[in-house]
Structures are given as C-alpha cells and as structure tokens.
Amino acid sequence: MAKIAFLFSGQGSQYAGMGKSFYESNERARQLMDKANEILPFNIKELCFEDAEKRLNETTYTQPAIFVVSQMALSLLEEAGVKPDVLAGFSLGEYSALCAAGVFDFNAGVSLVADRGALMGAVTNGKMAAILGLDKEKAEALCQEASDKGIVEVANLNCPGQIVIGGTVEAIDYACEIAKNYGAKRAIVLPVSGPFHTSLLQETAKDFGELLESKEINEPQIPLVLNVLGDYYRSDRDLRELMVSQMATSVEWEKSIRQMMDAGVDTFIEIGPGKTLSGFVKKINRQAKVLNVEDMDSLQKTLNELSA
C-alpha cells in the first residue's frame, strides 16, 4: 500500500486561469471560491481566473489566491476518497497544509493568509536569487563573502543543486556576480517583492505573531512536516512560534522530503498551481512517484494512477 504525502504549492506557481476548471466542474470547489470572495476585500475569482488588473503576482494577492485554489484542489481529492499519511507545504503552501491538518478551518485560513500576504507584500527592502549548482556549504560561503555589501542569507534549500538566497539588493546583486567563482552554474534573480525567509523579515514576523495571538490554532490531526524544522512537527513544540519563525527562517525543503521518504512515503501529490515541487522531489529521488492536481485533467490522471 502506497504511503502518500500531499505537498502544497508555494508562491511563484500562480497563473491566470488557475482553479477555473474546478469551479466550473464541482459544486464543493465552487462553494469554497464563492466563500473566499465573501471574506476578502477583492474579487478573488476574477483575480485567479482572469487577472485583468495584473495583480496576481503581487504578494498581497498571490498568497490568498494560491491558498484558495489549493483548498479547492484538496476538496476534490478528499471527495474522491484520497487521504494523505503526511502533509507539507512550501513556504506559503505550509498554510494550505496547516488547514488540511485541521489547525484552522478554511474561512479562518483565507483571512490569515490574506493578512500574511499583506504583511509580506509591504516588505520591499531586498530581493532573492536562485543559485544553481552549489551545495549548502558553498552557498553559505558565497553569502559570507557577499555580506560585505549587506545582508545575504540562504533562504530556501530546495533540492540538490538549487538553493535560494535572500538579502539586501546590493548584497544579492554582488552574490550573483561572484557566484561562478564558487562553482555555480547560474544565478537567477527571482520576481518577488522582498527577501522572504531571511532575518530581514524578523520585524514583519513579529507583527504577524501579534496578529496570530487572537487566532484559534488547533493541534494538527494529520502528521505535518514543517519548513523550519525540515522534520515532523511534534506536540511538544509551540506551533504558533513555528508559524511565526517560518517567515524569517530558511525553508528546509530537501530535508523535509528526505524525512518523509525515510518514514516510508513513496508517493507525493503536489496540490495547487504548477509543478515546481514535483520537480524538486524528482531531483531529490528519481524513483519517487510524483503526481499533481492543479486542474480537472491532472486530477483525473492522478486518480487513474492511484487506482492502477
């Protein structure tokens, strides 16, 4: 019997048209989108389906949009009777995983993610870059040299050969200039508004923590692997504290996937727009079975694979 992990898409996977086939095909998914439209101060249906005002790539809007579409996709998998043995999400996607685990319900999740997106969207004091071809030690050495120009830190440890760094503009630009000296194949500046998952987000994380104090947070009902830990959450840890620190701490994605594999997970289903996480998993272990659900076609393919 396959041991299944649900993985939830992070920021950067969004595209106009996402969630539309779910909305047009399924009443449960339609209700989720309509409920989100009631909760949010903007038209999330138009944002996801059309994006006429070109706001989908702005963090304030991106985060709730991906969250809602991911929950729509999840609802269809649940309706088909597919259950996970473990949950994880990449950066923003961790909030979809927390919701799926029962830490908060959909309505609370929409509001919480909208607040998180607005806070992070207001951070414009830096940038991020993907460094291809370096291991963690060399990436840290690169950051150390570039730190002469400002703050620069390892932000995301995605998979072998792909590490993302974040920091102040001058320091990131310099790191990209000298990356080849450390053996990097390429350095690619990412289209994000701020240096997420670095110490430059500490004040923003603190603000988010204050907001979180008034929210009801439950213990997860399904095993969770968290970005900050790169490991399974245990109830002796403070979940609120981990949610807050995630904003200003490295995403330990490769470590997270390896922990799940070590625990016997052999099937990974990426839920939400895009297939970025599927690519990461394949680079970590080519033998892993990797599926995804981002529209009705991919849902059907995944259900066919699981029943084969």
9 contacts 272 by C-beta, under 8 angstroms: yes
First to last CA, the chain: 12
Catalytic residue from among 197, 250, 256, 298: 197
In the residue annotation, 21 being an active-site residue is answered as no
Contact between residue 67 and residue 113 where contact means Cβ atoms under 8 Å apart: yes
At residue 159, φ and ψ (nearest 5 deg) are -170, 170
Q: Which residues contact 157 (CB under 8 A, 6 or more apart)?
A: 136, 163, 250, 251, 252, 253, 254, 255
- Residue 197 is among the residues annotated as catalytic for this protein: yes
Question: Using an 8 Å Cβ cutoff, are 293 and 6 in contact?
Answer: no
Nearest Cα neighbor of 273 from 2, 47, 37 is: 47
Sign of the C-alpha dihedral, residues 173, 177, 180, 186? positive
Catalytic residue among 9, 91, 96, 278: 91
What are 132's strand-pairing partners? 162, 186
Q: Are the CB atoms for 49 and 241 separated by under 8 Å? A: no
Helix runs in 18-162, H state only: 20-25, 27-39, 44-49, 59-79, 93-100, 106-121, 136-146
Q: Which residues are catalytic?
A: 91, 197
